[in-house]
A and B are shown apart, each in its own frame.
Chain A
Amino acid sequence: MANQKEERHVISRRGFLKGMGTGAVATAILPELPSQSVEAEETTQEITEATITLHINGKDHKLTVEPRTTLLSALRDRLELTGTKQVCDRGTCGGCTVIVDGRTVYACMTLAIDMEGKNIRTIEGLAAGDELHPVQEAFIEKDALMCGFCTPGFVMSVAALLEGNPDPSLDEVKEGVSGNMCRCGTYPRVFEAALAAAQQMRGA
């Protein structure tokens, strides 16, 4: 076992920090950590955690997570950024879409621990103060939501699409949001909103 301990010390700093052993890293648990973690009841094994810093919407957030904590769970359950929706929690619906280093990903399919040092943007960070992002404006303008549960995900997908492609065709818009599902069937309005936002942003 001494051997194993040593192994953790020889691996890189990043690897070491993230090595969720019961050794050095476990001592890094923050004092204000809630006594039981979110999923603690599911397991009997010793809980091991690490303190990480997530850069979200321009701000650093320090928090302690288990390796299994998804970015979605960290956002919603730990940082109270609940604009990112949990629907399927298995990478099929797009409700949890966030932008990481300029690319959309499903927050339910990424581990929070793997997001250190990355630039994470959520729906909460899209507006500039009281001024909505043009994509948000367009969704309102075109009435592109019904229940609205899928909307944050769609807005993030459209925002990311337009950042990479300011003048998308309808087909490109469709492809851009093909990883998002809407049970209310707002797709036609979403497409309209995306095209309207694109036009607005090009003109501005």
Chain B
Amino acid sequence: MKNFEYFAPETTEEAIRLLDEHGEAAKPLAGGTDLLIFMRDQKITPDVIVDLKGINALSGIEELPDGSVQFGSLTPMQDLAVHPMMRERYPHFISSIREVGSIQVRNLATVGGNICNASPAADTPPTLLTLNAQVRLAGPRGERVIPLREFFVGPGQTALERDEVLTHVILPSPQPRSGGCYIKLANRQAMDIAFVGVSSYVVLDEDHTVVDARIALGAVAPTPLRVDAAETILQGQQLTKEVLSEAGEAAEAASRPITDHRASVEYRRMMVKVLTRRAVLRAAEKARNGNGR
């Protein structure tokens, strides 16, 4: 690993100032479970590391007055995974977190890091997209809140300016009779990267008609992807076999996978179709049972 200057600011303002001052040469460090590996492989060779872990304001989970939940971008994933309120309100987000690496990884890794790395195959973004998550960004010009949807630009590319820090993630409160599901396809149950990830969130009315459906894909496009076309198909419908198939096909059509050592284009596309159907069905089941959003 190339050596670097190391700063451990204690406030977000200091971090922003350091990032601003050092420009291109600087990289913010969160949990480090990806960045340190990239640095070790010399894929990224920053001259300056701004370690964000010492900034207390970036950790923690709180409920906002409007009922949404805001958590600090540097909160270790494991803290979220064991948090009673998070488990109660956002079980499919928690199950997505539990797909990340292993306990050792989750004890270090952060959702902020997972988002900012913008790996197309990351486990938490598809689910965060289905929850209509927003991200709070702080920079020298002040603060802005944008939908996570607008955050991903390309593989490894985001809307984050070089001198900005993603400080918080905001999750709107889940609706009644909603359910969610994240299905990850990988070779191993732990320590593996998805070759297809599908997340779903479904809200039903009393007659089990779909009031709202959200579907997001991972690992099958340059960025994590919401599939509006599939969502529109489900809207206002009963979840019949035909409707589900149609939604699966729409998701498949929206996907733009590549072939790599993990899986081929053909296989990925086929799995998008199957898993979209399955994820929607499971989400709907949970919505009906009222036991898992």
> Cβ of B53 and Cβ of A179 under 8 Å apart?
no
Q: Which of B5-20 contact A (CB under 8 A)?
A: 5-11, 14, 17-18
The 3 closest A-B pairs by CB, nearest first: A179-B102, A67-B6, A178-B190
Partner of B105, one of A47, A106, A175: A106
Contacts of A7 in B (CB 8 A): 17-18, 21
> Cβ of A91 and Cβ of B37 under 8 Å apart?
yes
Q: Which of A168-184 contact B (CB under 8 A)?
A: 175-176, 178-181
> Cβ of B40 and Cβ of A11 under 8 Å apart?
no
Output the residue of A11, A15, A19, A47 with the most chain B CB within 10 A.
A15
Given contacts A105-B108, A178-B189, A179-B101, 16 further A-B contacts (CB under 8 A): A12-B14, A14-B54, A15-B10, A15-B14, A15-B54, A19-B5, A19-B6, A39-B3, A42-B1, A42-B2, A48-B3, A89-B40, A94-B102, A105-B104, A109-B108, A111-B36
Mask, A157-176, CB within 8 Å of B = 1, is 10000000000000000011
Query: What are 11 A-B contacts defined by CB distance under 8 Å?
Result: A7-B17, A68-B3, A91-B33, A91-B105, A104-B104, A106-B105, A109-B36, A110-B32, A111-B51, A175-B103, A179-B101
Query: Given known contacts A90-B37, A179-B191, is B7 in contact with A103 (CB within 8 Å)?
Result: no
Count of A-B contacts with CB under 8 A? 121
Is A4 among interface residues, defined by CB-CB distance under 8 A? yes
Is A113 among interface residues, defined by CB-CB distance under 8 A? yes
Contacts of B14 in A (CB 8 A): 11-12, 15
How far does the alpha carbon of A106 sit from the alpha carbon of B102 in the complex, in Å?
Answer: 10
> Cβ of B9 and Cβ of A11 under 8 Å apart?
yes
Output the residue of B1, B2, B40 with the most chain A CB within 10 A.
B1
Nearest CB in chain B: distance from A53 CB, A:
15
Nearest CB in chain A: distance from B81 CB, A:
11
How far does the alpha carbon of A106 sit from the alpha carbon of B78 in the complex, in Å?
Answer: 14
Residue in B closest to A19 when the chains form the complex, CB atoms: B7
Query: Given known contacts A7-B21, A114-B53, is B9 in contact with A103 (CB within 8 Å)?
Result: no
Q: How many A residues are at the interface, by size bracket?
A: 35 or more
Residue in B closest to A37 when the chains form the complex, CB atoms: B3
Is B267 among interface residues, defined by CB-CB distance under 8 A? no
Contacts of A39 in B (CB 8 A): 1, 3
Nearest CB in chain A: distance from B102 CB, A:
3
Nearest CB in chain A: distance from B91 CB, A:
17
Is A125 among interface residues, defined by CB-CB distance under 8 A? no
Contacts of A67 in B (CB 8 A): 3-6, 49
> Cβ of B8 and Cβ of A14 under 8 Å apart?
yes
Partner of B2, one of A43, A70, A104: A43
> Cβ of A179 and Cβ of B190 under 8 Å apart?
yes
> Cβ of A104 and Cβ of B107 under 8 Å apart?
yes
Q: Which of A36-87 contact B (CB under 8 A)?
A: 39, 42-43, 45, 47-48, 50, 66-68, 70
Nearest CB in chain A: distance from B101 CB, A:
7
Query: Given known contacts A4-B21, A11-B14, A110-B108, is B103 in contact with A157 (CB within 8 Å)?
Result: yes
Contacts of B1 in A (CB 8 A): 39, 42, 68
Contacts of A110 in B (CB 8 A): 32, 108
How far does the alpha carbon of A106 sit from the alpha carbon of B106 in the complex, in Å?
Answer: 10
Mask, B186-207, CB within 8 Å of A = 1, is 0001110000000000000000
Partner of A48, one of B5, B37, B189: B5
Q: Which of A1-40 contact B (CB under 8 A)?
A: 4, 7, 11-12, 14-15, 18-21, 39
Contacts of A70 in B (CB 8 A): 36
Query: Given known contacts A12-B14, A94-B102, A179-B103, is B32 in contact with A18 (CB within 8 Å)?
Result: no
Mask, B88-117, CB within 8 Å of A = 1, is 000000000000011111011000000000
Contacts of A68 in B (CB 8 A): 1-4, 39
